[in-house]
């Protein structure tokens, strides 16, 4: 075959797979499609992926001045995904925005306090954390670019007003 010309009928026959090869190719494609579909359907049910849009909805409520709705949405999100760290920080911001300083401190503390379970498996504290989370979320830089302006402002106001004892405790661990 000359480059730039259409293939002749004899060269097309040489390139075409046999009918048994086409069946085998079709079966392999079908199996790959079925595996890909199952993986996609499985990931759409993954609760971890649902946390981000739920957090975004809570932030929009805060942006619209509906702090009570934002708190309800964030608490609901954390019941479904208690390990969603951004949600803990968002709850602190929302509670502070609503005037609940103690509640904001409690939500923030859950970033810093590790979960402790008894030998029977009962959870004694509900924290996530570690000094790593505490340090990471000690400034608004970690949420900048992902949170709405109202949520960032509320979080910054919370961080600026943190209880002196809480700041001292965090500073003793090397956290600001």
Q: What are phi and psi of 135, to 5 degrees?
A: -70, -45
pLDDT of residue 123: 46
CB contact set of 51 (below 8 Å; sequence gap of 6+): 77, 80, 81, 84, 86, 87
Predicted confidence (pLDDT) per residue in 24-65, tens digit: 766 776 776 566 656 655 544 555 568 889 999 999 999 999
Q: Is the pLDDT of residue 169 over 60?
A: no
Predicted confidence (pLDDT) per residue in 71-94, tens digit: 999 999 999 888 888 999 999 999
The pTM of the full predicted model, rounded to 2 decimals, is 0.62
Q: Using N-to-C axis directions, what is the helix angle for 149-161 and 85-97, rounded to 10°?
A: 80
Predicted confidence (pLDDT) per residue in 89-141, tens digit: 999 999 999 999 999 999 998 887 755 444 455 544 455 555 678 888 999 99
């Amino acid at each position: 075959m000359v480059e730039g010309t259409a293939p002749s009928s004899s060269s097309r026959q040489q390139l075409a797979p046999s009918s048994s090869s086409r069946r085998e190719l079709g079966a392999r494609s079908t199996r790959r499609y079925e595996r890909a579909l199952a993986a996609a359907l499985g990931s759409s049910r993954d609760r971890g992926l649902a946390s981000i849009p739920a957090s975004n909805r809570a932030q929009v409520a805060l942006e619209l001045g509906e702090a009570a709705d934002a708190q309800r949405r964030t608490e609901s999100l954390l019941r479904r995904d208690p390990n969603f760290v951004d949600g803990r920080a968002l709850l602190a911001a929302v509670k502070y925005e609503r005037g609940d300083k103690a509640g904001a401190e409690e939500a923030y503390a859950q970033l810093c306090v590790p979960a402790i379970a008894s030998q029977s498996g009962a959870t004694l504290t509900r924290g996530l954390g570690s000094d790593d989370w505490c340090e990471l979320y000690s400034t608004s830089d970690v949420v900048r670019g992902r949170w709405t302006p109202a949520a960032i402002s509320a979080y910054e106001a919370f961080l600026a007003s943190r209880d002196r004892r809480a700041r001292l405790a965090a500073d003793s661990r090397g956290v600001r």
